[in-house]
Amino acid sequence: MIDQFINFVIRPPRAEYNPEQYLWEKDFTLAGRKFRRQDLELRNGRGHTLRCSHYMPSPFPDDTSLPCVIYCHGNSGSRADANEAAVILLPSNITVFTLDFSGSGLSDGNYVSLGWHESNDLKVVVSYLRSNEQISRIGLWGRSMGAVTSLLYGAEDPSIAGMVLDSAFSNLFNLMMELVDVYKIRLPKFTVKVALQYMRRVIQKKAKFDIMDINALKVAPKTFIPALFGHAKGDKFIQPHHSDLISNSYAGDKNMIKFDGDHNSSRPQFYYDSVSIFFHNVLHPPQVSPSCSSKYEKYYDLGDLQVDAGIEESLFYEMIAGQPLGIDAASTSSAPPTILSTDSVGDYLPGIVPVRNSLVNDVNSVSAHEPSQLQDKPSGQSEECCSYTSSTRESWGRCSSLGSDGEPFPDCTTSNNNDLVTLKVLATPLRSNQHAAAGASDVVREKKKGAKRSGREKLEKLEALSQRLRLCILKRVKHRRNHSS
């Protein structure tokens, strides 16, 4: 049992993954803009190679430097966990750097140290970014072990602009004592302490660090970097009072956000929104050009429904054909496929262009002749259509929940006037007060029926397209995170 507990500390399940399958593509489009993933290798002070990835605009702007957030994963995680961070921060002109710490993922090393050696790995990454003239301010975003790593490093480097600390533990020794109770190991406290002292010596010999040195409460009073703490209310692995203790002793500006869930659950959308606002305030990224999302390079032949070229052609033709996709475009972890996944469609929503005015005009024309036929159309269909036509990150944030389990979008509204017109027309067409003349010929009636039939077909095509879009995207984008253990 003691050996298992030692492995629980220094050798938890290691994430094994294929970067081409579980990371964002080398070149991808997000919020109407092009980005790229640059893979690189760094070497830490112990001679271990660290596998890293840097997400940035493509091409990188020549006339200005951009801030960067370094994402630090948990004890069983990898750089694939930063996929969520990329979705949140890249549209705000904040680059994202992520790595596999030594002993994790695809990097060298046999053991993790829950923040001790990882803080030295983080120092190597920060030094690399400091040498890059294209990078301005640097922020840290850590989860679980990564949060403690950020705290330990932040105490030594006050130049860090800000830190997001998700589920940090205050003291490793106290955490291990708590977990004995959580897992209901029925041993006297004295026996447990003796066993932990034995474990301490073994870990020092194997992993070259002292578990008594992993104490965030020692560094918090001398750290002045602005910090945003986050913790799940139902976290039984690292209980919420750990973040409370650190926050109470923290010397810098701080804020605390608590939310429903447990240690490994996906975070709610309002938490990600708070993270985005926090980094925007401390990193001061340059303003995004409004013209970036208004350029349409080409359109596919879909009749009245025109689609931005930002979406892959093969993907969209599979949507039209109603065929499922066979690969994962992105993942938040290296977890094997058996782990439950959480889906997000926010990364592909901005690529859909609003329904063209010709469709609106056709619907208006039909409603002028037969308004009662279209007025009974359920408003839910128009709202769903509206959710896919949003072209700004703000409306995307309201229409989707990053990390939700495929739930419908609860608060879906548009911020575009054309979308509002489309919604109004499709949901409640204007009634016409004019009535058909009593002696209308059969030819005129046939023309009206043909126009009405054409309008219905276009609406049905739009509805089917939106349904296939949701189906294909939810199958294509599967976010998975390795559970801490």
Domain ranges for the chain, please list them.
2-283, 296-479
Residues in the chain: 485
* pTM confidence score: 0.64
CA–CA distance, 191 with 199 (Å, rounded to integer):
12
Q: In whole angstroms, how large is the CA radius of gyration of the chain?
A: 27
Cis preceding linkage at 429, omega within 30: no
Q: Find the helix or strand (DSSP H, E) in which 97 lies.
A: strand 95-99
Tokens matching residue 429: 């067409």
**Four-point Cα dihedral 211, 215, 218, 223, nearest 10:** 130
For residue 42, what are the β-bridge partners? 50
Per-residue pLDDT tens digits for 350-375: 444 343 344 444 444 544 444 444 34
* CATH, range 2-283: 3.40.50.1820
> Out of 60-64, 96-100, 352-356, 363-367, which region has the weakest mean confidence (pLDDT)?
352-356
Tokens matching residue 185: 């190991």
Q: What's the mean pLDDT in 52-66?
A: 94
Tokens matching residue 8: 């629980």
What pLDDT does 366 receive? 44
Q: Are 79 and 27 in contact (CB under 8 A)?
A: no
Band of pLDDT at residue 243, cut at 50, 70 and 90? very high
Tokens matching residue 259: 């939310």
Q: Are 67 and 73 in contact (CB under 8 A)?
A: no
CA–CA distance, 317 with 314 (Å, rounded to integer):
5
> Out of 322-336, 366-380, 384-398, which region has the weakest mean confidence (pLDDT)?
384-398
What pLDDT does 462 receive? 65
